[in-house]
Chain A
Amino acid sequence: MQVEDKTLALLQPLNLTVTAGESLAIVGSSGSGKTTLLSILAGLDLPSSGQVYLKNKPLHQFNEEQRSQVRAQHVGFIFQQFLLINSLTALENVMLPAELANLPDAQARGEALLAQVGLADRLDHYPSQLSGGEQQRVAIARAFISKPDILFADEPTGNLDSKTGQHITDLIFDLNAKEGTTLVLVTHDAKLAARCQRQVEMDSGVLTEKLEFSTPEHDNKTEMSAPQVG
């Protein structure tokens, strides 16, 4: 990253492959570069060097519009700050990704998903009328509506109390299992990380594998090689 005239290396060269259907936790302390890695994997940000493939698509060669399209087609998100749009109702927030990807039945699917996360009677409520846990449940429903191939979750329970957090975690893993989605989860919560099939640890931009499951296939997977954000 270029800050004025100094170059700041946020990530050291690394290699990471995520296979379809896999659940991966990226753990590490604050400022270790977890979220930067997630941004690059999801095509939100670009590495200064290196390659990122998502579903065989070279994200590092794509412009903003193309990456947007990839996200709309293949990616779902859950954030620590929920990031709902305040002017839209719960249902409309959930429907948004489906609409952006031009999927049919957005409304029916949205209603079904909100029912699955236990908010069947809150469809027309605005985010400001919902509690933190409820907002995160809306965000989860939103993440699954476009049937994404891969779901990125950034500290999904970070802003919630432990009981609500537990409930949200259950929901994410249940839906993930049901939909067969690939899950990449960033957290510093060891218990949450432990529920993933595989864990990698970030420390000062260096990635170390905790458990090894990866197979070097390029089909239906996200792969990142030697990204150096600098």
Chain B
Amino acid sequence: MSNLTPKASSMWFVQSLRLLHHELRRGELTIIFLAIVLAVATVFSLTGFSGQIKHAIVANSTNTIGADRVLRMSSEVDPSIIEKSQSLALKSAKKIETESMAFAGDNMLLSELDAVSDSYPLRGELRVKTSSTQAESVIASAPQVGTVWVEPSVLSRLDVKIGDSIEIGLAPLTIAGIVTDIPDRSYRAFIAGPTVILNIADMPKTELIQPGSRITYKYLFAGENQAIETFEAWIKPQINESQRWYDAKAAQNRLSRILDTAEKFLSLASMLGIVLAAVAVAVASRRYGQRHQSTVSIFKALGASISHVRKLYCLHWTLLSCLSIATGLLVGYGLLLLGVNAIASYLSLADAPLTFVPFLTAIFTGLLCAIAFAIHPIMSLVQSSPLNVIRGFSQNKVARFGWHQLPPLLALFLLLYIFSQDLVMSAALLLGGVVVSFILLMFGRGLMSAGRSVGTKAGKSWHLALANLKRRASENSVQLVSFTIAIKLLLLITVMKSSILSEWEQQFPEGTPNHYLINISEAQIDPLKQFVAEHDIANQGFYHVYRGRLSAINGIKTVDEDKPDEQAANDATPADKEKQAAKKTEQQKSRQGMGRELGLTWRTELPEENEIIAGQWWQVGDDKPQVSIESNIAERLEIKLGDNLTFTLGSDEFTVPVTSIREVNWQSRQLNFIMVFNQSVLDKFPTTSISAWSISAQDRDMVYRFMADFPTITLMDFAAIMAQLNNIIEQVSVAIQLILILVVLAGSLVLIAQVQASMEERERELAILRTLGASGKLLRNSVLYEFVALGAIAGLMASVGMEIAVYILQSQVFNMPGSFHFQYWLVGIGAGAFFVGSIGMLSCWRLLNLSSVTLIRRTM
């Protein structure tokens, strides 16, 4: 090289640029470009979006609990605790959370009720708009006595406006503003309804709080660090089983764990699309390598060194990768903005900064796709022998298995690991993916072979189409697997949305409860009983409900499963770690508990839909304290007949023996209880009752009018619960749809790449057929039917897969008999045939439009 002029030594650079320019203009690199853009854009938008959401919810909002520490319990706090906090100069606030009906005229709405003291919130911002025309919300604290802040949907659903009065329980309250930000908003999946915030001083007027009501008390504390820590050290030993003490970090950890899980699920699911995009790169680059063989051989024959060729193609490929990755980032950014815009009404991400993580992850993904999946064809291209010029160019088939398949597999594993952060899971997914693909492949090959024999009798076009399909079976397999998965997702969403839930609802016999009544006081029971008897409303009677915890089994204390996390987040100092270790040993000595409060009840007679499988139900008049336990829980907690169970109800504790084990039909929508006692155990505690009614459509208005006289009773429509379930399914299916779109796009790229790779072969076949006198219609149909058959086979396999998945859902999740959904098989097969047929025809369009003279001249 030393004797070359500087200009000649950089000739490869100029040639490389010229090559890129040419190839891009001729559209030869389009598939590779699009595949990398797709992978990069997907990863960037997904990682960026979830990162921003996490930042906005968790990190950026100064507080997610409205305080420095929160004490949560199901009863009022001991005054000594508040006194202690005051002595340490801590600020405190109180919040009561419950669910209740809100009434306005004839309208009623189940809502989340937050009753807060004047000092609320201690940290973070509560923001409200006091008129509907106001653009910016202002920082506020508790509403004034006699007024409420409400979430926007309360206005539309109760048909009221700011200044109107609504009734909460027995208290009429005026809407003073619309709340836009709640510092300690709950992110649970099931929330009764929109939030109504009232002043805690109004709570007694509502008469919602009665013994046994389902109410959460939160005591919020904030102040100097030192004081908070002193207070924490003092209060922690006093926290009992039914109370929780937590800081913002613990709450944030909980939240970010949920977000992490969602993100992990989405990114692993989108891996499917990314893998397909990478396969498209692999197919297209193989064809690229073969097409460029002659160029490289001629270059070499004319005296170009290996290093010249290597540099030329390395730069060419690098430029292509950079261009694709940059475009991918731009497209990804666009998608990210769309996403941010779409959820703007729920969550403002305007202030959440973009970190480097999405950039790095996306660029890395792009590089992996561009390098790992293309390295083998490009390497062998550079190695092309100049002798080829004389010997001719071989369309050498790549060996099926060999070292060259290692880089793509390693790259896949690396990508899985980046998204899952879990070695075992990555390995399992890779292996699982290979196994599932293999099964689909074998199944698909079988169908293609079967189609081949059927096709022989099905007319000329079909015959040729299916013969081609079978011959290209191994190339077709990738598309087959990807379209099968895409169509299966599509079918599953459709069936879930339109069938499973309604089938589940329909299987309940007439008279199955469709309304639940909660928070019924002792005095209200008689008028209600009279009402249902008068109007012949099917009901299950009234159950007294007590909230209590299972605190010990045979004298051994139970521990909650979810407590350790929270503790870990709180305990940071070495001393705390020691405490944690001590707690661990303590856990080993203790028994597994329920980890939550239970609804307890007493009965004299065995409830309907319950069956005793061990022991005996008590005789009427048997006053000896005892309990009957549900069989699944008994099994899980290893509780046997005769075991002594200790329960905590508020500050009371009692121990009773297990005298029977019951099997309960949870699917019946009846009121069911895990622990049922005899009357003498619970009778002495004050409480409220619940009931379940079956209200027919024509009785509905009448019942609702009657219930308006009992505003402290919460009336829950089962349809509303179903609506919430539907809403969750809707949200899940949005996520699945995103994956679906990605898989369809990537699968189409693979299909187009595959068609391009087979273009010379197809051209030759069409020329032969044309020469032998085949009509244009026959040629078009044979190409069309080939793709239609491929799509239909994918649709058929997807339908079988969907049916299996639905059966598992029905039998395992919904406990209902399985059913077939043949109408969706047609949808699956039809959609597959139509989509793959269209994409295939489009990619062969140029070929089919060539005049036969051109076609024949090219081949002969």
**A interface residues with partner B (beta carbon < 8 Å):** 35, 39, 44-46, 64-65, 68-73, 75, 77, 79, 83-88, 92, 96-97, 99-101, 126, 142, 154
Contacts and interface: CB of A to CB of B under 8 A. Distances in A.
B780 to A, nearest CB: 12
Contact of A99 (B460, B470, B471, B765): B460
User: Which residue among A35, A96, A126, A154 has the maximum number of chain B CB atoms within 10 Å of its CB?
Assistant: A96
B856 A39 contact: yes
12 contacts: A64-B851, A68-B852, A69-B773, A72-B773, A85-B765, A85-B768, A87-B472, A100-B769, A100-B772, A100-B773, A142-B772, A154-B860
Interface string B814-857: 00000000000000000000000000000000000001110011
Contacts of A92: 456, 463, 467
Contacts of B456: 92
Interface of B, secondary structure class, is helix
B775 A75 contact: no
Interface in B617-637: none
Interface in B34-69: none
B853 A101 contact: no
B776 interface: yes
Contacts of A87: 464, 467-468, 470-472, 765
B778 interface: yes
A83 B768 contact: yes
A45 B778 contact: no
A68 B471 CA distance: 26
Which 10 pairs between the two chains have the least Cβ-Cβ distance?
A72-B773, A87-B471, A71-B773, A87-B467, A87-B468, A83-B768, A68-B773, A44-B856, A97-B772, A64-B852
B761 A86 contact: yes
Interface residues of B, number: 30
Contacts of A77: 771-772
Contact of B774 (A39, A70, A72, A88): A72
Given A70-B773, A126-B471, 8 more contacts: A39-B857, A72-B772, A77-B772, A83-B859, A86-B765, A87-B471, A97-B772, A99-B460
B770 interface: yes
Given A85-B765, A87-B468, A87-B471, A100 B774 contact: yes
A88 B465 CA distance: 10
Contacts of A64: 776, 851-853
Given A83-B768, A99-B460, A88 B775 contact: no
Contact of A75 (B769, B773, B856): B773
B837 to A, nearest CB: 19
B460 A100 contact: yes
Contacts of B856: 39, 44-45
Interface string B437-473: 0000000000000000000100010011001101110
Contacts of A100: 460, 769, 772-774, 778
A86 B765 CA distance: 8
A86 B770 CA distance: 15
A149 B472 CA distance: 36
A45 B767 CA distance: 12
Given A87-B471, A99-B460, A100-B460, A68 B860 contact: no
Contacts of B767: 83
Given A45-B856, A99-B460, A73 B773 contact: yes
A87 B464 CA distance: 8
A208 B540 CA distance: 109
Contacts of B463: 92, 99
Nearest to B776: A65
A17 to B, nearest CB: 23
Nearest to A75: B773
Contacts of A101: 773
Contact of A46 (B464, B775, B853): B853
